Amino acid sequence: MVAAVNRPGNFYFTSDLHLGHKSILHLQNRPFADIEEMNDAIIHNINDRARADDQLYILGDISHRVPAETANALIRRIHCRKYLILGNHDVAGSPPQCIYDTSLFQWVGNYLQMNVDGLELVMMHYPMLSWPKTTSGSVMLHGHIHSQAAYNEENHKAGIRRYDVGVDANDYRPVSFDEIRAWAENTPVSLQSRKNLYIPGVWQPESITEEQFHAEHPDQL
C-alpha cells in the first residue's frame, strides 16, 4: 500500500513488543521482573506518548506464545489509532492470516509506503537491503532483528536511512515521526549503492562512481 498522508495527529512507530512472551525477558535481557511488568511498562509507554487521535504503526510481533484472546485484551489497552504491519509472530495458517481481531486496527497488511510531510517512509517487519526511493532520501523502518540503539547509530554513521523502531532499540517506547525525521535529516544519503547495502560489521562498502550507480539502477533516477 502506498499513501500520501496528512497529519491530523502525531505519528508513532514501534515493533517487536512480544507482549506475553515470557522467554523474551532473558533472550533480549529486558529489564523487567516478570512478564506482567513488561506488558504494563510497554503499554504504559505507548499510551504515555500516543493520544487517542494519534496514529501508531506497529511493525510486527505484537505478542508471542499467548492465546489470541489474551493478545486481543492486551491490544485493547493501547488507546490510540493502531495500524499493523504483520510480523512472523502475528500470523498463522496457510496462507498466513492475522491471528488478532482485525477490528482493533485501522489497517492491517504486510507492507506500507507513505509520504508524511514530504518524507517518504517505507515500512515492513523485516529489514530491507534496498527499498523504493533509497537514493531520494526515503527512510526504511523495520523491526524483527531486536537490535540495540547502536544499530541505528551505525546506520546513521554509514549514511543508511534504515531504522529499527523495535522496543529493544528504543528504550521500550514508540518512536515519533519527528524523531525519525530529525534522525534522517542528519543521515546524508550516499549515492554509493553498495554502501547503502552495507550491513555494519558484515559487509564492507565498495567504491562506485555516480555514473556506475545510475547505470545499475535506472529506476532510481
User: What gap in Å lies between CA 70 and CA 100, rounded to an integer?
Assistant: 10
* pLDDT tens profile 80-104: 999 999 999 999 999 999 999 999 9
| Structural domains of the chain, count | 2
Confidence of residue 183 (pLDDT cuts 50, 70, 90): very high
pLDDT over 70 percentage in the chain? 82
SS3 128: coil
218 and 134 assigned to the same domain: no
* pLDDT at position 221: 40
Structural domain containing residue 210: 191-221
Report which residue type is found at 109: G
| Neighbour-count burial of 29, counting CB atoms closer than 10 A to its CB (0-12 exposed, 13-18 middle, 19+ buried) | exposed
Residue 193 has pLDDT above 90, yes or no: no
57 and 92 assigned to the same domain: yes
117 and 57 assigned to the same domain: yes
DSSP H or E run through 36: helix 35-49
The stretch 40-47 carries a mean pLDDT of 98
SS3 166: strand
218 and 175 assigned to the same domain: no
Spell out the residues 6+ positions from residue 207 whose beta carbon is closer than 8 angstroms to its own.
192
Mean pLDDT, the chain, rounded, equals 89
The number of C-alpha atoms within 13 Å of 182 and in the hemisphere containing its C-beta is: 5
* pLDDT at position 201: 55
* pLDDT at position 188: 84
Residue 220 has pLDDT above 50, yes or no: no
* pLDDT tens profile 135-172: 889 999 999 999 999 999 999 988 889 999 999 999 99
Confidence of residue 2 (pLDDT cuts 50, 70, 90): low
**Contact predicate 32/41, CB 8 Å:** yes
The stretch 54-79 carries a mean pLDDT of 98
133: left (phi over 0), alpha (psi -120 to 50) or beta: left
pTM assigned to the model: 0.86
**Contact predicate 39/17, CB 8 Å:** no
SS3 10: coil
Higher pLDDT pick, 210 / 165: 165
* pLDDT at position 3: 58
User: What gap in Å lies between CA 20 and CA 63, rounded to an integer?
Assistant: 6
* pLDDT at position 209: 67
SS3 34: coil
* pLDDT at position 195: 52
208 and 100 assigned to the same domain: no
28 and 133 assigned to the same domain: yes
134 and 199 assigned to the same domain: no
Backbone angles phi, psi at 116, to 5 degrees: -120, 115
User: What gap in Å lies between CA 10 and CA 16, rounded to an integer?
Assistant: 21
* pLDDT at position 197: 55
| Neighbour-count burial of 179, counting CB atoms closer than 10 A to its CB (0-12 exposed, 13-18 middle, 19+ buried) | middle
**Contact predicate 137/118, CB 8 Å:** no
CA distances from 209 to 155, 190, 192 (A): 21, 11, 7
Residue 204 has pLDDT above 80, yes or no: no
Backbone angles phi, psi at 215, to 5 degrees: -70, -35
178 and 196 assigned to the same domain: no
Q: Grid coordinates in use for 200? A: 555494519
The stretch 176-195 carries a mean pLDDT of 82
